[in-house]
Structures are given as structure tokens and as C-alpha cells.
Amino acid sequence: MNVDLIKKKITKKTKAIVPVHFTGYMTDMRKLMKISKKYNIPIIEDACQSILGSINKKKAGTWGITGAFSLHPLKNINVWSDGGIITTNNKNIFNKIKLLRNHGLKDRDHVHLLGYNSRLDTFQSVVGNWLLPSAKNIANQRIKNAKYYDKNLSKIDEIKIPIRPKNFKIVYHLYIVFAKKRDQLLKYCLKKGIEAKVHYPVPMYLQKALKHLKHKKGDFPVTDRHCKEIITFPCDQHLQKKQIDYIIKTVKEFYKKR
Amino acid sequence: MKIPYVNLKKQWSLERKKILNLIDKVALNNLWVGGEEVSKFEKNISRICNTKYAVALNSGTDALTFALYCLGVKKGDEVITTSNSFVASTSTIVHLGAVPIFVDVLENQLINHNKIESKITKKTKAIMVVHLGGRVAEMDHINKLSKKYNIPVIEDAAQSIGSKYKNKPTGSLGKIGCFSAHPLKNLNALGDSGYITTDDKNIYLAIKKLSNHGHKNRDTIEKFGYVSRMDTIQACVLNFRLKNLKSTIRKRRKNANLYRKFINQKNVLIPRDDPKVFNTYHTFVVQAENRDKLKKYLDKRKIFTSIHYPIPIHLQPAAKKLNIKFNDLKETELQSKKIITLPVNQFLSEKEIKYISKTINFFYE
């Protein structure tokens, strides 16, 4: 989220700002918190892809009024099913969400507010608890992989590495770079056995589900450009160096051939 | 003798090896969400419930929410239901902005079908029938009203998988059937799970999409949805446990009959079973004088019972905000003070049921 563009979008109706800490790279919360304070608008951090990410050592999920995390099997900390977590320092919100997730039940027989069914299975909590001690190692290994990619891919003219600002700890749930001839590169990688992906090819504002908001193609030019150029390479903690080398080699090969 | 109300430990001990193997298979497949096990479960359910379609979901609560949503229930609408249920059958109505209109119940705890018609207004968008405890409501009558006023029926069948009305399974008796596979249900997963059944293709497709963020495919979203997918592991466990469903029901029905034989029904009312209905006894609820004292008496003797449910939804603190006066739910309120749920699970022995019954009889002597 380009935080510098937020102010002109704020109206009397604005109730919250939801920055997405996409890929493990946090929105600039230093700037955003100033806006939140000035306009008295709470921040909900979508930190689904950014567990253990931080800015100036202050972690994702601790800046806003609440932080939302996902434990989906593809996340850095992953359980064996859908799952999620919220974090907050606000006791009222904490108590309310505790009630909301379990039908508003204060105890078995007393319903204090009408809630939902959104409980993390015991089973999945066991899996999560087992994984948590490895969380730092998982993040560090991904960071190591990403740095290695950065160093090597930056030598290729057709690849642009996103900005890696100082003091940001990027935990690389996704390793994304901008690539010329992205679609062809993607095809080439897939053909070579590399499971590259695009997160995500169609921006939210152009989805059919948002038709009623009447956005036009081109309303968000940077978003559009990214959609055309982004490519995601495997970056998980189980990758071996030789696999990363193979990916780098394959990308080089692709551009040499053209 | 110590008798637990439910016995999940026993169930696990009988299946442990097989289920651990199945989980390992899911893990080796590297697929934790969706996949073949989930579609297989959906096929199994549509076969059992005799419907064209089934969708596996995250919970019975979500099943109710999606059912109401797909029928277009929205702010200002009314939905007819009962107040002696688990809170989800009402909260789902309220969360969509609609108003729950409670109808009193019969002696057998099910909706009093004769009192429905007078509650129907122009705003009534659905009738949500709760097949409480494994019994089935008077569906012929209710479906006649549904037809007459063109109001669809949602079956809250969370507690009644396998139950039948005139030989037709629950889930096939209304427009949409909503089920739970919570660990305490007759067909139970290892965590929260649920499913819906329907013959309506549009509703089926809509709920399929709603449950998976509205994704048409990985990259295209047609309508914003939710995440309410049945875990692959849970689908796998449920497919396995489906093989035992018939025998589970048979044993529960047998246990219920034993209670009828052994309990002195002078002080304890056991509502009779409607011959049209095949009751699967998710719960065995009796109505007892001095209920609270009886419960304590049984607790002391390590016979663990439950109450489904001691406070009707319209009397819950959460219902205050609804700002509706309910003065015609006398039977619901009366029963809430008398009902007690006796253990009826498939792992009980005849000896144990005899002991429970004897202890109850002794309490009144």
C-alpha cells in the first residue's frame, strides 16, 4: 500500500484501514500509524503472509488495533487445514473475539452475544504449537534463500528486484520479482519443472465481484503494472541450494535464448 | 460405576490405528484443503440424504448461514424457528439482519406445526425447522404451509443425520438441509465440520463458491465469499466413520428402547416416538420432576448427564438486544426446567443403562 496516497481517500465514512503486509513485506507502518492517529481511524493489519516480519524490530500484528494471521497450509507457520489467529493489545477486543468465535458462549449455557463458529481445532493447535519453536528458523531460512536469489537475479537485466528497505525484516512468505516477458518466463519455468506462480494475476479491483464499485482498468496503474510483471519463485525453508541455483540458471537461460 | 455422558476416548481407541494411517495418507498427498476425499464425502452424503447435491463445510453454523443467505434472507426479513435449540439456529438469522420469530414446541420438543401459520407475515422469508435430538418435525404439514405461502423450508438437521420421516431422510425434506459433524454428533469429525444438502442446482453452486472465497477458479472471483471449507483430514475421517453410522444409530435406538423399558415413567416423561419418524437419538431427553435435584443426585453417583438446553434462546442475555417480547413460548419455557439428557451413546452396555434407570427410579422412591 502506497501510504502517501491514503489521505485523499479518507472520508467521514472511513471506519478502518487494512494494510496488507503482502508476501512478508510490511506496509510502512511508521507513516501509517501517524495517519491513523491524526484521523482517529483504527488499523487492522492483514498480516496473513507476514508472521515474524517487522519494521525497526517491531513485529507485524503489533502496530494496529488488531493483527490478522493465517495458518493455511501454504503459510510460513502452517497447520493441516484452514486456521487463523488474531493479535491485539486491546482487552475489550480480545474478550469480544473470544466470545464471538464460540457462539458468544460465556459458558456452556449462557449466550452473551450472538457469535459465530470459528474455533481452531485442538488438533491444529497441537500442530501449530509444535511448529512455533521453529518459526524463527523458518523465517531465517527463507530470508537466506531470498538474499541468495536477490544477489544472483539482480545480475539479469530483464529482472527487477523489489525495494528491500533498511530496517524492514521481510519474511518472504512469497519471493516475488518483476520480470520482462513474464508470461513466457512463467511457461518456460513450468516446462523446466519449476513451480513458479503469479500472486495474483487479476487485481481485486478488476474482479467481477467488485463490479458494482465501477472501477475502470487503469485506475491503479502501479497495481496493473505489477500484475503484468510479477512472478513468484519457490522460497520455502526446504529448498536446497542446488535447486535455487537451477532456478537462477533457468531464468538466465530463458533470457539468453530470446 | 462411572458413566461418562459421551465416550470419545472409546471411539478413538477402536479406530486409532486406521485413522492415523488415513491422516498419514492425506499428509503424503500434500493436500490439506479440498481434494478427492472432500468430493467423496459430498457424494456419500448426497447418497445417504437422497439429494442431488451436498457441500462439505467448516461447521453446521456456516451451513445455516449459507442456507439463509442463498434464500435471500436479509435485513428486515423474518424467519420462523424455535427457541429451544442450540444458539446457532438463531444467531445465523440475526447476523443476516433478519428477525427470528419463535414458535412454541410440542411435548416432543419439536416445533408446534399448528402454531406456525399464525406467525407467517409478508416478511417471512424462511421456516427453519430444527430436528432436535434426532427427531423429525411434522414435515407434511410444514411443507403444505411452505407451498401455500411460497416460503422455503430450511432443515436444521445438525443433530439428525440418518433420521427419517415417512422413510425419507432428513436433508431431503426441505429446500436445504444443514448438518453438523462436530465431535459430539452421531457422525463426528475430529474438529468442527458441517455440510449442506439440496436438490437445487443454483443453491448448490452458490454455496460451493461462497464457501471458498467466491473463487470461480484460482484467479477469478465472481462474488465475495467466505472461507468455510471442510478440512481434507476431517473429510477423510468422516468417510471412514460413515461405515459405522448405521450401527451407531442402531445401538442408540436400542439404548433408547432399554430406557423406555427400565425407567418408571410415573415421574419421568419420555416423549413417545412418532411411528412416521425414524429417530436416531443424537440425544435422549426426558422430562423429569425435580430435574436439578435429580441431576445432582446422578452426578454424585458418577452418572454424567447434560441439559439441551437449560436456557431457551429468547431468554439468553444476548436476546435482550432483539427487543422482541415473547409471551407465547410457555411449553418451551416449561420444558427447559424439566429436560435432562441421559447418556445414549453407542458404547453403553445394557448393564449401564439398567443401572442409570434404576438410579433414577430410586431417586423418586
Q: What is the pLDDT of residues B237-273, one digit of tens each?
A: 999 999 999 999 999 999 999 999 999 999 999 999 9
pLDDT at res. B232: 96
Chain B partners within 8 Å of A80 (Cβ): 26-27, 32, 231, 233
State whether residue A125 sits within 8 Å of chain B by CB: no
| Average pLDDT over every residue of B82-103 | 97
pLDDT band at B31 (very low <50, low <70, confident <90, very high): confident
Task: State the CATH number of the domain containing residue B54.
Answer: 3.40.640.10
Tell me which amino acid residue B357 is: S
User: Whole-angstrom Cα distance, residue A139 to residue B223?
Assistant: 34
Whether residue A170 has pLDDT greater than 80: yes
pLDDT above 90 coverage of chain A, percent: 99
Whether residue A142 has pLDDT greater than 90: yes
Neighbouring-strand partners of residue A211: none
Which one of A110, A114, A116, A206 makes the best mutation probe of the B interface by having the most chain B beta carbons within 10 Å?
Answer: A114
CATH fold of A3-134, please?
Aspartate Aminotransferase; domain 2 (3.40.640)
Class of CATH domain A137-257: alpha beta
Distance between start and end Cα atoms, chain A: 34
φ/ψ of B39, rounded to 5, equals -65, -35
Tell me which amino acid residue B311 is: I
Residue B218 or residue A27, greater confidence:
A27
Chain A partners within 8 Å of B87 (Cβ): 103-105, 111, 114-115
- How many interchain CB pairs under 8 A, A with B? 93
- Total domain count, chain B: 2
State whether residue A114 sits within 8 Å of chain B by CB: yes
State whether residue A126 sits within 8 Å of chain B by CB: no
Which of these three, B242, B258, B285, is where a domain ends? B242
Pairing of strands B153-156, B124-130: parallel
User: Whole-angstrom Cα distance, residue A192 to residue A98?
Assistant: 48
Using the beta-carbon criterion (under 8 Å), do A117 and B94 form an inter-chain contact?
Answer: no
- The verdict on B188 and B334 lying in the same domain is no
In chain B, where does DSSP find H-type helix?
Answer: 8-29, 36-48, 60-70, 88-95, 139-149, 201-210, 232-242, 245-262, 291-300, 330-338, 350-364
Which of these three, B211, B242, B273, is where a domain ends? B242
Using the beta-carbon criterion (under 8 Å), do B191 and A115 form an inter-chain contact?
Answer: no
Which one of B91, B184, B232, B309 makes the best mutation probe of the A interface by having the most chain A beta carbons within 10 Å?
Answer: B91
Query: Is the distance from CB of B37 to CB of B239 less than 8 angstroms?
Result: yes
- The verdict on B66 and B175 lying in the same domain is yes
Distance in Å, alpha carbon of B113 to nearest chain A alpha carbon: 26
Using the beta-carbon criterion (under 8 Å), do A81 and B231 form an inter-chain contact?
Answer: yes
Q: CA-CA-CA-CA torsion for B231, B191, B193, B137, nearest 10 degrees?
A: 160
pLDDT band at B325 (very low <50, low <70, confident <90, very high): confident
How do residues A39-89 score in pLDDT, each as one tens digit?
Answer: 999 999 999 999 999 999 999 999 999 999 999 999 999 999 999 999 999
- The verdict on B196 and B264 lying in the same domain is no
Would you state the cell numbers that stand for residue A166, as one nine-digit string? 533498511
Distance in Å, alpha carbon of A122 to nearest chain B alpha carbon: 7
User: Whole-angstrom Cα distance, residue A115 to residue B317?
Assistant: 13
How do residues B51-66 score in pLDDT, each as one tens digit?
Answer: 999 999 999 999 999 9
Using the beta-carbon criterion (under 8 Å), do B316 and A110 form an inter-chain contact?
Answer: yes
Whether residue B217 has pLDDT greater than 90: no
User: How is residue B207 annotated by DSSP?
Assistant: H
- The verdict on B193 and B305 lying in the same domain is no
- H or E, element range at A257: helix A241-257
User: How is residue B134 annotated by DSSP?
Assistant: G
Distance between start and end Cα atoms, chain B: 21
Task: State the CATH number of the domain containing residue B342.
Answer: 3.90.1150.10
Domain boundaries for CATH 3.40.640.10 within chain A: 3-134
Q: The cell 489521505 sits on which residue?
A: A7
3-state helix, strand, coil in chain B (%, to 5): 45, 20, 40
ipTM of the complex in this document: 0.89
User: Whole-angstrom Cα distance, residue A180 to residue B71?
Assistant: 47
- Which pTM was predicted? 0.94
User: Whole-angstrom Cα distance, residue A57 to residue A256?
Assistant: 41
Residue A210 or residue B321, greater confidence:
A210
- The verdict on B182 and B267 lying in the same domain is no
Q: What b/e string do you get for A88-125 counting C-beta neighbours within 10 Å, with b at 16 or more?
A: beeeeeeebbebbbebbbeeeeebbbbbbbbbbbebbe
Radius of gyration, CA atoms only, chain B: 21
| Average pLDDT over every residue of B325-340 | 94
- The verdict on B98 and B135 lying in the same domain is yes
Distance in Å, alpha carbon of A155 to nearest chain B alpha carbon: 31
How do residues A144-165 score in pLDDT, each as one tens digit?
Answer: 999 999 999 999 999 999 999 9
Radius of gyration, CA atoms only, chain A: 20
Q: How big is the CA angle at B189 (ends B185 and B193), to the nearest 5 degrees?
A: 85
Whether residue B2 has pLDDT greater than 90: yes
| Average pLDDT over every residue of B10-38 | 93
| Average pLDDT over every residue of B270-290 | 97
φ/ψ of A123, rounded to 5, equals -45, -50
Would you state the cell numbers that stand for residue A245, as one nine-digit string? 541455483
Chain A partners within 8 Å of B26 (Cβ): 80
Using the beta-carbon criterion (under 8 Å), do B307 and A109 form an inter-chain contact?
Answer: yes
CA distances from A97 to B58, B93, B148 (A): 18, 20, 42
Residue B338, judged by CB atoms within 10 A of its CB (0-12, 13-18, 19+), counts as middle
pLDDT band at B11 (very low <50, low <70, confident <90, very high): very high
Residue in B closest to A199 by C-alpha: B219
On whether residue B296 sits in a domain, the answer given is yes
Enumerate residues 6+ apart whose C-beta is below 8 A from B312: B83, B84, B329, B332, B333, B336
- The verdict on B14 and B146 lying in the same domain is yes
Q: Report which of B128, B132, B121, B65 is spatially closest to residue B92, judged by C-alpha positions.
A: B65
φ/ψ of B59, rounded to 5, equals -165, 165
For B267, the domain range is 245-364
Would you state the cell numbers that stand for residue A232, as one nine-digit string? 513468484
Using the beta-carbon criterion (under 8 Å), do B91 and A123 form an inter-chain contact?
Answer: no
On whether residue B27 sits in a domain, the answer given is yes
pLDDT at res. A51: 97
Which one of A80, A117, A126 makes the best mutation probe of the B interface by having the most chain B beta carbons within 10 Å?
Answer: A117
Which of these three, B190, B217, B242, is where a domain ends? B242
pLDDT at res. B273: 94
- The verdict on B230 and B274 lying in the same domain is no
- The verdict on B234 and B322 lying in the same domain is no
Neighbouring-strand partners of residue B278: B164
The beta-carbon neighbor of A104 closest among B87, B192, B310 is B87
Which one of B19, B32, B216 makes the best mutation probe of the A interface by having the most chain A beta carbons within 10 Å?
Answer: B32
- The verdict on B253 and B114 lying in the same domain is no
Using the beta-carbon criterion (under 8 Å), do B222 and A209 form an inter-chain contact?
Answer: yes
Chain B partners within 8 Å of A127 (Cβ): none
On whether residue B1 sits in a domain, the answer given is no
- The verdict on B25 and B98 lying in the same domain is yes
| Lowest-confidence segment of A79-93, A123-137, B64-78, B313-327 by average pLDDT | B313-327
The beta-carbon neighbor of A112 closest among B32, B61, B318 is B318
On whether residue B315 sits in a domain, the answer given is yes
Q: At what angle do helices A135-153 and A241-257 cross, to 10 degrees?
A: 30
Chain B residues contacting A, CB < 8 Å?
26-27, 32-33, 58-62, 86-88, 90-91, 94-95, 190-192, 214, 219-224, 227, 229, 231-234, 307, 309-311, 313, 316-319
Chain A partners within 8 Å of B220 (Cβ): 202, 207-208
Query: Is the distance from CB of A21 to CB of A47 less than 8 angstroms?
Result: yes
Q: Report which of B126, B204, B194, B190 is spatially closest to residue B158, judged by C-alpha positions.
A: B194
pLDDT at res. B321: 85
Distance in Å, alpha carbon of A174 to nearest chain B alpha carbon: 17
- The verdict on B42 and B17 lying in the same domain is yes
On whether residue B16 sits in a domain, the answer given is yes
CA distances from B312 to A134, A258, B77, B85 (A): 46, 72, 22, 7
Whether residue A258 has pLDDT greater than 80: no
Chain A partners within 8 Å of B235 (Cβ): none
pLDDT at res. A257: 83
| Lowest-confidence segment of B4-8, B163-167, B281-285 by average pLDDT | B4-8
Using the beta-carbon criterion (under 8 Å), do B32 and A121 form an inter-chain contact?
Answer: no
pLDDT at res. B326: 82
- H or E, element range at A25: none
